[in-house]
């Protein structure tokens, strides 16, 4: 008599094979999604690091080296304070012209300060100080700075006529195991 169909054992073995193949495909898709998420996160973080670097490059490059005050902070980080060139009633002056403060009008004697807030996760802050050194505006411009004295997150050092700036993010495993960093030099106006 001819055989017509599969035995129960053959069906169970086929189902087990398909189940293993399905689980392997699911694991592959999940790993791919996780890798894609890490790559996008890494790329976004790098883009933000470049944006902050450009902002620092622009503002430090606009000021005069004699106007910059560098203060060492705990954890090996640095704080820098400086005015920017502005025009007050048509005359050049030093201060800040910040949208949202004084209606965007020039504020002579005011300064910009970049400092590290180390409470919790280290963050780079950009602050606007009035002429009595009171913070009038504060914004977090970079989160996740390294907070290790051996490899601090924000360091600014004068090297001759240039300023060496180093921004370092804390590592978090995966693609960012050693952290990311931006190092650049700025030549001020003088």
Closest CA to 184 of 151, 150, 156: 156
pLDDT band for position 173 (cuts 50, 70, 90): very low
pLDDT over 70 at 6, yes or no:
yes
**Residue 20 domain flag:** no
83 neighbors 160 (Cβ within 8 angstroms): no
**pLDDT (tens digit per residue) in 31-71:** 888 888 777 766 666 788 889 999 999 999 999 999 999 99
HSE of 16, CA atoms in CB hemisphere, 13 A: 6
**Residue 183 domain flag:** yes
Q: Which of 40-44, 92-96, 136-140, 147-151 has the lowest mean pLDDT?
A: 40-44
**Residue 106 domain flag:** yes
**Residue 16 domain flag:** no
Look at the pTM and tell me if it is higher than 0.75: yes
Q: Structural domain of residue 129, as residue ranges?
A: 35-187
**Residue 68 domain flag:** yes
**Residue 29 domain flag:** no
When divided into structural domains, the chain yields a total of: 1
**Residue 166 domain flag:** yes
**Residue 92 domain flag:** yes
């Amino acid at each position: 008599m001819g055989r017509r169909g599969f035995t129960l054992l053959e069906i169970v073995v086929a189902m087990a094979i398909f189940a293993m193949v399905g689980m392997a495909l699911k694991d592959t898709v999940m790993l791919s999604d996780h890798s894609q998420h890490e790559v996008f996160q890494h790329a976004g973080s790098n883009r933000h690091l470049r944006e902050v670097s450009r902002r620092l490059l622009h503002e430090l490059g606009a000021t005069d080296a004699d106007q910059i005050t560098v203060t060492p902070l705990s954890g090996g980080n640095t704080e820098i304070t400086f005015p920017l060139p502005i025009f007050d009633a048509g005359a050049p002056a030093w201060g800040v012209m910040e949208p949202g403060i004084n209606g965007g009008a020039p504020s002579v004697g005011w300064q910009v300060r970049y400092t590290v807030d180390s409470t919790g996760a280290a963050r780079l802050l950009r602050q606007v100080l009035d002429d009595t050194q009171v913070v009038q505006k504060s914004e977090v411009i970079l989160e996740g700075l390294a907070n290790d004295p051996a490899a601090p997150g924000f360091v600014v050092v004068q090297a001759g006529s240039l300023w060496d700036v180093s921004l370092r993010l804390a590592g978090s495993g995966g693609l960012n195991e050693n952290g990311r960093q931006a190092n650049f030099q700025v030549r001020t106006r003088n």
